[in-house]
Amino acid sequence: MGRVALTALFLYAAHASAQTEGRQLTPILEEQVQAPDVTSYQLRRFALSRITKLPSPQSPELWTAEANRLRHRLLNEVVFHGWPKEWVDAPARFEDLGPIPGGVGYRMRKLRYDSARTSTC
């Protein structure tokens, strides 16, 4: 390809870089392809098909055992994850620090609840 052809190609490409403008796309994008109700129904059906079925209890005893297992797992692996064992097992300390000023017709008390008696931090 010659120098003249490359120069002409470069000038044409620079001129043609802006192929579309916003006003040209507006009528195309405003056109409704599918009704919102249909889209909502299809999305709902897709999401519901991906949800696994919950297990049905076979007996009250099995269900209670499963609930206890899930509760224990949730507490140990999520809620108390990373907490020192001493903090988790420590008895709670509760103090009533007495009344504090309140508004007309209101009585308030200041309470302190401490989940761990000793801190290792």
User: Model-level pTM greater than 0.75?
Assistant: no
Question: Which DSSP state fits 113?
Answer: E
Please provide the DSSP assignment of 76-101 as one string.
IIIITTT--HHHHHSPPEEEEEEEE-
C-beta of residue 98 within 8 angstroms of C-beta of residue 110: yes
In a domain, 67, yes or no: no
For 31, the token pair is 């056109």
Three-state SS for 5? helix
Question: What percent of the chain has a predicted confidence (pLDDT) above 90?
Answer: 41
Total count of domains within the chain: 1
- Tokens representing 74 are 């949730």
Asked if residue 68 belongs to a domain, the reply is no
The reply to whether 86 falls in a domain is yes
For residue 70 the two structure tokens come to 């899930």
Within-domain flag for 106: yes
Whole-number pLDDT of residue 14: 61
Q: 37 lies in a domain?
A: no
Parent domain of 90: 78-116
pLDDT, tens only, 59-88: 999 999 999 999 999 999 999 999 888 888
